[in-house]
């Protein structure tokens, strides 16, 4: 087990990653300090960046090009935000990177500032080779991927308008540098139950919103069981579309029948799964099995579901331009599918041939004591150098 990086480039990657981890870019906070640092860093090598700010100006995506101007070329995509550390038992300050036994610990080291650090570390090399690049290399960094890919979508809308549109995009989410050509979609919903309050000694005069919510959650479990029977894809783990209830809130006091209850839930959808149809199925169950009895007690009872976010499933295919190129550059002959979501589906929908390939293991993402192995960063640098060689060949 080593404790020190061995090459100058690796040292640079580690130094940049240390700086990036130091920016607390939890999605609820502004990412501008990190974005401005990246902009200034690239500018020091003569690379100009364009910001795509959020509507309120507190966040910004960054787009930079090295090589010939215009559309085409290859985009290296990463997100700057990270998930919260609240309540997690870290052994060290999550925003101060620590190296132990060849691993770099800190929030975002794996997901996905490690990839961003590799790209930035190679920026001086790419700039030095700029005259020889036959196609551009774009650095594409977004905000708020972790809360619904809200940053990348307005940036993609500018492709072909005020920003060049990459022909190929490599999304550097952690795959242990394996080539991923498909992932599940992520759909988020909030269901609100309006019942009727009453004194708990006379429950027949009220409608418990919590009990109704529990019934709906049970129905989601039954819907998931039916999904398992109808659709399966062994490339994914688990091989079926899954439904998760992530939060529930309701109740006033122990002696009041609760008039309100809200729960949030989500679907990890296989390609081809009608996730919005699941929401409709839940509402149909409510209309058929629950609301008649609820409204017999009080006519204002209702059950409403709101769609909070949609991340479509991603499937590029083994014969796509991005997949074919990534397999060749990585020296691999097998692609993989993963259960987590990325921004790849948005790039693919915009007409950019897309693949997912990046350093680190997704098992470390979002965890306390998140880490990335230095060896993974070195593999990523080697892969990116092959991307650069392809761009000038």
Active site residues: 81, 145
State how far the Cα of 155 lies from the Cα of 281, in Å rounded to an integer: 34
Backbone angles phi, psi at 199, to 5 degrees: -70, 135
Contact 347, 159 (CB under 8 A): no
Coil/strand/helix, residue 194: strand
Contacts of 259 (CB under 8 A, 6+ apart): 194, 195, 196, 197, 206, 207, 209, 252
What is the DSSP pairing of strand 179-183 with strand 314-315?
Answer: antiparallel
Instruction: Go through the chain and tell me how many residues it has.
Output: 393
CA proximity to 186, closest of 307, 303, 282, 283: 307
DSSP 270: P
- Residue 229 CB burial class (10 angstroms; 0-12, 13-18, ≥19): exposed
């Amino acid at each position: 087990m080593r404790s020190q990086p061995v090459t100058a480039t690796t040292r640079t990657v580690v130094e940049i990653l240390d700086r990036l981890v130091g920016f607390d870019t939890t999605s609820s906070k502004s990412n501008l300090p990190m974005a401005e640092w990246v902009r200034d860093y690239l500018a020091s090598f003569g690379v100009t960046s364009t910001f795509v700010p959020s509507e309120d100006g507190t966040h910004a995506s960054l787009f930079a090009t090295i090589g010939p101007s215009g559309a085409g070329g290859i985009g290296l995509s990463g997100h700057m935000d990270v998930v919260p550390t609240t309540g997690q038992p870290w052994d060290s300050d999550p925003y101060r990177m620590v190296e132990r036994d060849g691993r770099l610990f800190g929030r975002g080291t794996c997901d996905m500032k490690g990839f961003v650090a590799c790209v930035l570390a190679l920026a001086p090399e790419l700039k030095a080779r700029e005259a020889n690049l036959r196609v551009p290399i774009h650095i594409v960094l977004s905000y708020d991927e972790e809360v619904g890919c809200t940053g990348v979508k307005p940036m993609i809308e500018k492709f072909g308008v005020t920003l060049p549109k990459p022909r190929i995009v490599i999304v550097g989410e952690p795959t242990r540098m394996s080539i991923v050509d498909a992932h599940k979609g992520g759909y988020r919903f909030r269901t609100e139950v309006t019942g009727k309050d009453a004194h708990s000694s006379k429950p027949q005069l009220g409608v418990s919103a919590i009990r109704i919510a529990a019934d709906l959650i049970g129905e989601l479990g039954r819907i998931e069981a039916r999904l398992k029977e109808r659709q399966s894809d062994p490339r994914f783990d688990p091989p079926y579309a899954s439904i998760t209830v992530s939060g529930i809130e309701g109740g006033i006091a122990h002696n009041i029948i609760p008039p309100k209850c809200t729960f949030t839930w989500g679907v990890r959808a296989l390609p081809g799964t009608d996730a919005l149809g699941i929401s409709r199925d839940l509402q149909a169950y409510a209309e058929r099995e629950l609301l008649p009895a609820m409204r017999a007690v009080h006519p204002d009872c209702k059950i409403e579901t709101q769609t909070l976010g949609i991340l479509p499933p991603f499937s590029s295919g083994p014969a796509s331009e991005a997949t074919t190129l990534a397999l060749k550059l990585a020296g691999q002959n097998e692609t993989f599918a993963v259960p987590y979501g990325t921004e790849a589906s948005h790039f693919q929908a915009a007409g950019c041939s897309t693949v997912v390939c990046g350093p680190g293991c997704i098992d470390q993402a979002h965890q306390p004591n998140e880490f990335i192995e230095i060896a993974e960063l070195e593999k990523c640098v080697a892969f990116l150098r092959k991307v650069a060689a392809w761009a000038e060949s």
